[in-house]
Every structure is written in C-alpha cells, then in structure tokens.
Amino acid sequence: MKFELTILGSSSATPIYNRHPTAQVLNLRERLLLIDCGEGTQMQLARYRVRAHRISHIFISHLHGDHYLGLMGLLSSLHLQGRTSELHLYGQQDLMDILEMQLRLSNTTLRYNLIFHAVRHYLGGVIFEDDHMQVKSIVMNHRIPCTGFLFREKPRPRKLLINRIRQHGIPIEYFNRIKHGEDYTDENGNVIANDELSVPPPAPKSYAFCSDTLYDDSVASEVQGVDVLYHEATFTSDMQERATTTYHSTARQAAQLAKKAQVGKLLIGHFSARYRELAPLLREAREVFPETELAIEGRRFGI
C-alpha cells in the first residue's frame, strides 16, 4: 500500500531559481491529498504527472499568498475539465469567503460539490477520519493564524496465513475475526492461537506537515515519533533575528525540533529567495539531525 509524498513547491514568498511556492501531494493508499496550493500548483501537478482529478482532499495551512494563491486556478480548471466527484477543502473560514467572492464575481457555479471544512487555527484536533486514516490539525506560531497537519495511517488487519487456515479447515466466516486478532476454537474445543493463523501487518505510518512557524517546543509533542516530518526552514542561523521578526524558523531550529520529537526523517523547505544554493541550509540541519533532506521540487519520499 502506497504512502508517498511528492514535493511540488519549496520556495517562500515568491517563485525563484526554479523553486515554486509551497505545495505537496500525499498519496495515502492511492488517495491523493493536496497540502497547500501556492501559485502555479496546477502546472506543477502536470509537470510531475500527478492527476489533479484524483485529488480528493485539499488542506490549506494559512492565508499568506504563497500557500493558497494557486487554489482558485486549480478549482476552476477542475470545473472546466468536467469534474463531477466531490472535493473536500480544509482551511480557515476566511478562505471560503475569498473563494465564494471569486466565484460570485466570475459568475461561476462549480460542476462538482466543493465541501468546505472550517479548521479552528487556535485549537488542534481531528479534522478528518475514516477507516484508513486520521488527519489532525496542529497549532502553528506564525504572524497570522496558521495550522500544520498530521496524517496518520490506521492499523491494517492482520494478514491471514491461508495454507495454515486450510489445514485446520477453518470456515470463511471466521476469517475477519482472525484478521482482527481473535484465536480460533474448533468444534472440539481446541484453541488455535491467532499467531499460528496470521501475521501482524506493517506498522501504521505517519507524516507531519509543519507550515510557517516560529520554533515552538509544544509542536514536538504533537509530532512525536512520526515517520517523516516536514518543517519550514526559511533561513540559516545567521539570520536568526530576521527569522524571529517574520515568525519563521531556521534550518537548525527545524532540526532541533526533529531531534526533540525523535522523528524518523526530517524534510526542510520554504526557502528564502536569498538562497540560490540550498547546501548551507541542509548542512546546518544535518549538524543537528543527520536524517534530513531537502524538500525540493519533483522529489518523492516514501513514508
């Protein structure tokens, strides 16, 4: 089952040096989730052969333009291409106010059902859940209301050992109970332990997206032990004062949080336009947390 992240944009504020504003696609068991939608996102989707019509959920962290200005264009293109399946959108209430104004002034009625879910930026918690995954919002510490997102795969059923099940002549109606960990008792009262009939599934995976924010210790507890953490790293440490003034983090701070949270891998992005080359940011982060990679355009990360 796939759990894969594709980076569409890694730049902060403006597109520059072939870097684009923030956007990512998470493939969770063949369900495509778009995280932020900066300017030009639909072009990046086409460039990296991500089928936009397969996106079922969009999550917008906050209302700085480099995180959402591509959204109206994407929604319009899906409309023009004849999309009919519903699309779920998560963000602050002001986001929907903006979209409704644009749709009204352009006299556009979308062909598909856009279902908006208002996210409370001041209170983290579960914002989506089904049989396969759970999504939580995380409170960020930014200049305007901002949320991060935590995506967790739910545990899968145990895998049946079909040959052993056949050897014991177990009826098919017991299969689901065995998948969920039950032992089997035959008609003579003999108990066959579950671990003789099935094996554990792979451990559930998790991905945390921490958008624009100051370094905040409280976030570490929210993302504790995740497999992959994305954390903004707009500046190097020599620009610490600038980072603090603009409510952003340095690469070193992103690595410090990853280390504190004991995550599996750290991805850094949202790079300032002052950096043509990104090696200094990567080097700084790896000094603190060696398992760090650059979240740059076109890279895919298995989770």
| Spans of all domains in the chain | 3-156+202-302, 159-199
Choice among 36, 66, 212, 227 that is catalytic: 66
CA–CA distances in Å: residue 137 to residues 37, 123, 147: 17, 8, 6
Rounded Cα–Cα distance for residues 195 and 192 (Å): 9
The angle formed by the CA atoms of residues 48, 68 and 121, to the nearest 5 degrees, is: 125
Higher pLDDT, 166 or 4: 4
Domain 3-156+202-302 sits in which CATH superfamily? Ribonuclease Z/Hydroxyacylglutathione hydrolase-like (3.60.15.10)
**What is the spatial distance between Cα 120 and Cα 242, in angstroms, rounded to a whole number?**
28
pLDDT at position 114 over 90: yes
- Asked if 66 is an active-site residue, the reply is yes
Name the more confident of 102 and 156. 102
Distance between CA atoms of 227 and 155, rounded to whole angstroms? 15
- Rounded Cα distance between 148 and 59, Å, is 9
State both tokens at 294: 């650059």
Mean pLDDT of 228-250: 97
SS3 229: strand
Looking at residue 122, its pLDDT comes to 87
The confidence band for 185, taking pLDDT boundaries of 50, 70 and 90, is confident
pLDDT of residue 167: 84
pLDDT reported for residue 5 = 97
Give yes or no for a contact between 136 and 124, defined as CB atoms under 8 angstroms apart.
yes
- Helix axis angle for 251-261 and 279-288, nearest 10°, is 30
- Taking a C-beta distance cutoff of 8 angstroms, is the pair 268, 294 a contact? yes
Tokens at residue 60, please? Answer: 């917008």
264-277 pLDDT per residue, tens: 999 999 999 999 99
Give the model's pLDDT for residue 1: 65
Predicted structure pTM score:
0.90
CA angle at 280 for the pair 60 and 233, rounded to the nearest 5°: 20
